[in-house]
């Protein structure tokens, strides 16, 4: 049982490392996004608005949003109804989570992966371009982010499901995610005096 549990933990940690690594890389997309938006704002006051800045900004933001989903799941930051969940035992939480992953998450993500892959493939075949401006940039690389992001999210979902199995076995979460309230309360001094 010990080696079995050790192997499970190693797999979980490996999947988490992939999601953390990808999230840290994707976070750097904020720099070109800020650069494009700053350029557009500055040029707008000196000359005419550019044709490319709006489309480039939504492409970068879209890629950030999609590719950051696995990291968000790894950090436990997706929406959850905590007011009930927090009162349950660890094994109950893990059982409900595992059931939700099996019945809702995996089937939904598998369908999304299949449809997103078809969507991206058709965009590549047609060499699709955006018709929103006269610039008409290619958008098939952006549409390729759908299946890539979904595959990464599915992989992290496997990691989260394995964490549930570990918690069902041991009665403890391998990783305890903290709510924003917990993070803030730990960083603020215990006594705040107003003058």
Is residue 189 assigned to a domain? no
> What separation in angstroms does the CA of 64 have from each of 78, 89, 110?
16, 35, 21
Q: How many degrees, rounded to 5, is the angle at CA 156 between CA 22 and CA 11?
A: 100
Q: Per residue in 57-72, pLDDT tens?
A: 989 999 999 999 999 9
Show Cβ contacts of residue 191 under 8 Å, excluding neighbours closer than 6 positions.
none
* Inter-residue contact 175 to 159 (CB < 8 Å): no
**pTM above threshold 0.85:** no
Is residue 192 assigned to a domain? no
Is residue 73 assigned to a domain? yes
How far is 173 from 122, CA to CA, in rounded Å?
Answer: 42
Low-confidence winner among 3-17, 23-37, 92-106, 155-169 (lowest mean pLDDT): 3-17
| Length of the chain, in residues | 195
The total number of structural domains in the chain stands at: 1
How far is 171 from 91, CA to CA, in rounded Å?
Answer: 6
Is residue 23 assigned to a domain? yes
pLDDT band at 91 (very low <50, low <70, confident <90, very high): very high
Is residue 190 assigned to a domain? no
Is residue 69 assigned to a domain? yes
Please report the pLDDT score of residue 5 as a whole number.
76
The residue segments making up the domain with residue 165 are 2-78+85-174
Q: Per residue in 114-168, pLDDT tens?
A: 999 999 999 999 999 988 777 888 999 999 999 999 999 999 999 999 999 999 9
Is residue 127 assigned to a domain? yes
Given a cut of 50, whether residue 195 has pLDDT beyond it is: no
Is residue 162 assigned to a domain? yes
Please report the pLDDT score of residue 180 as a whole number.
57
């Amino acid at each position: 049982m010990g080696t079995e549990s050790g192997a499970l933990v190693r797999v979980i940690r490996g999947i988490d490392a992939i999601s953390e690594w990808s999230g840290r890389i994707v976070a750097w997309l904020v720099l070109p996004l800020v650069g494009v938006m700053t350029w557009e704002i500055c040029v707008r006051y000196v000359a005419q608005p550019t044709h490319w800045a709006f489309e480039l900004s939504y492409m970068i933001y879209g890629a950030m949003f999609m590719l950051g989903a696995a990291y968000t799941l790894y950090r436990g930051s997706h929406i959850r109804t905590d007011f009930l969940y927090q009162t349950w035992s660890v094994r109950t939480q893990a059982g409900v989570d595992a059931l939700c992953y099996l019945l809702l998450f995996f089937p939904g993500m598998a369908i999304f992966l299949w449809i997103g892959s078809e969507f991206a493939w058709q965009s590549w075949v047609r060499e699709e371009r955006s018709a929103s401006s006269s610039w008409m940039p290619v958008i098939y690389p952006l549409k390729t982010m759908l299946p890539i992001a979904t595959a990464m999210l599915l992989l992290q979902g496997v990691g989260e499901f394995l964490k549930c199995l570990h918690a069902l076995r041991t009665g403890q979460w391998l990783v305890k995610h903290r709510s924003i309230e917990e993070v803030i309360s730990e960083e603020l001094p215990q006594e705040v005096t107003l003058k």
